[in-house]
Structure 1
């Protein structure tokens, strides 16, 4: 097991470099960059006083150099650029839109983004696991039809609309402030017990809104996998031998049906971040989603590149967690299929 963990962690290193290259290619695809667009706008309006400063910034951050050299500077493998050491040295870059380091722009949003994603994933699995088992073991019952109907409603309802409805009732029934991840009086204040409790209370609405679609999909996936296992010959044989239904379910079919269910942990993270951008804007959530949207619109390449790479790192961590859980659940995985 230790060898498998080390091998998976070492595999993440070249994977992360490939992802960083693809991320840099994506943010470089649109013609020009933030400074080039600003220079073009100033020339169109006849203002030339600030062009020299923008040209200086363009050279300062190596935006006038070849593509490969810019990539190596960005990740920190090309020395000699003043003010930008690269990601490997802990320098996340400079945000031209906000005129401050990327670390200061995304610093307050990263912990809240991680907390929101972790809460959403926990919600998806805690809700979908028992419902999926219930629907599979009571196929075509009223409960199965009811959960299926609710799942389809969750998939069909736009997240932003569901968020607005839940915000209204949360404010009406529980007095929660509309939008945000904490009460207004805690914004900008140091962490305390009251602030933590306020964050937990405000996490309920976005967690349910963002996790609804993923929960419905997980329920259908676990139900289908478990139904497939329950109709196999070994289950019929075990029942004929008098094995208790609960013991039979837990020991054999459920374990086999959980493999695809657990493998989706890593796939959930990028879908949650990308799917929560509109929800974050509507609910005024201080996460990286709205910041990424603004960065892509303004071609703030260092800011957009770091956020995309941050999501990729979260995805790799999620895949590692799912692989380790699968290795514990299924010995064939950690033994390379030899068992």
Structure 2
């Protein structure tokens, strides 16, 4: 396993290098740069624009810009954000925790709901409960995430529910006790976490149901039942352990979406996360901030796949990485 991990980690270096190169030059293909918006301001002189262009290295050709950026990254310097006029690490650090909190809460909700429901639907195949859950799953797959967020916000206002509908904290957050601060954040987290979490429930549930139905037809399941094992033990120890493999792979891909998968939900619910920040950075052509976000997403994708492979070897003893 250690040899396998070492090989995978060594493969990461050229992979990230290619990703960074492609991403950087795609950003350069878009017309204009960040300073184009400043040129429209009559209060900003041409001399200041030229000074900023030299300061940010925008006076160089794209190839030279890339290698200058890469050299700084190798020294753990991700550059300076144009829009926020601050180091990229500080800008991302101010939003990173917020997005991770939202994404992890959504993953807990989605997996906590989808796995039990999928198992129930497979065990009670073609029953009335399976049919009802299947209908809800297809409805869930059909409703866009942003529309469900708007619908939920409308219902909260319509029925005067005591839930905040925007932001991460209340106005009086600074004057609350430590425990009250946690409660306040959880209240603000509830709506975006439900919206983001339920978005993947339907797909995970159908996947779990299909895998369980396939496994329940195997000969070793019939043998386990013939031996007199309890039905719960047959389902959760024998069937579930073999049916979970494809979902572990999905879990690895979901890890890579922790930073970017919540963008629409953050915008609709006004959650101050990286999704909104990255959208604003792309629109402003804040290239160093965008590159830092893309590279973090790429690293998470690699880590997610690696974690999925390790979990597969733990769950399924048939899998070995030699």
Length-normalised TM-score, structure 2: 0.87
Indicate the SS of the match to 2:31. Answer: coil
In structure 2, distance between residues paired with 1:22 and 1:174: 47
> Equivalent residue for 2:16?
16
> Equivalent residue for 1:63?
58
Give yes or no for the alignment of 1:175 onto 2:170. Answer: no
Q: Once the 2 structures are TM-superposed, how far is the Cα of residue 304 of structure 1 from its aligned partner?
A: 1.5
> Equivalent residue for 1:184?
171
Unmatched tracts of structure 1, length 5 or more: 78-85
> Paired residue for 2:89, among 80, 84, 103?
103
Query: Is the 8 Å Cα contact of residues 181 and 203 (structure 1) preserved in structure 2?
Result: yes
Indicate the SS of the match to 2:165. Answer: coil
In structure 1, distance between residues paired with 2:69 and 2:180: 40
Give yes or no for the alignment of 1:204 onto 2:199. Answer: no
> Paired residue for 2:316, among 321, 324, 330?
330
Give yes or no for the alignment of 1:278 onto 2:273. Answer: no
In structure 1, distance between residues paired with 2:265 and 2:51: 38
> Equivalent residue for 1:82?
none
In structure 1, distance between residues paired with 2:15 and 2:204: 27
> RMSD of aligned C-alpha atoms?
2.7
CA 1:4–1:308: 2 relative to 1, 3 Å: same
Cα displacement string for residues 127-162 of structure 1 (whole angstroms, at most 9, x for unaligned residues): 111111111111111111121122222222232332
> Equivalent residue for 2:298?
312
In structure 2, distance between residues paired with 1:233 and 1:332: 17
Query: Is the 8 Å Cα contact of residues 259 and 326 (structure 1) preserved in structure 2?
Result: yes
CA 1:36–1:178: 2 relative to 1, 3 Å: closer
Q: Once the 2 structures are TM-superposed, how far is the Cα of residue 206 of structure 1 from its aligned partner?
A: 0.8
Unmatched tracts of structure 2, length 5 or more: none
Q: Once the 2 structures are TM-superposed, how far is the Cα of residue 328 of structure 1 from its aligned partner?
A: 0.8
In structure 2, distance between residues paired with 1:304 and 1:178: 28
Q: Once the 2 structures are TM-superposed, how far is the Cα of residue 191 of structure 1 from its aligned partner?
A: 9.5
In structure 2, distance between residues paired with 1:158 and 1:273: 19
Cα displacement string for residues 199-219 of structure 1 (whole angstroms, at most 9, x for unaligned residues): 122222111101212111111
> Equivalent residue for 1:232?
218
Query: Is the 8 Å Cα contact of residues 140 and 202 (structure 2) preserved in structure 1?
Result: yes
Once the two structures are overlaid, the 10-residue window that deviates more, 290-299 or 101-110, is: 101-110
> Equivalent residue for 1:83?
none
Tell me the number of residue pairs that the alignment of Structure 1 and Structure 2 aligns. 321
CA 1:11–1:252: 2 relative to 1, 3 Å: farther
Q: Which protein, 1 or 2, shows the higher relative CO under an 8 Å CA cutoff with sep ≥ 6?
A: 2
Q: Once the 2 structures are TM-superposed, how far is the Cα of residue 317 of structure 1 from its aligned partner?
A: 2.9
Give yes or no for the alignment of 1:135 onto 2:130. Answer: no
> Equivalent residue for 1:267?
253
CA 1:186–1:100: 2 relative to 1, 3 Å: same
In structure 1, distance between residues paired with 2:217 and 2:321: 28
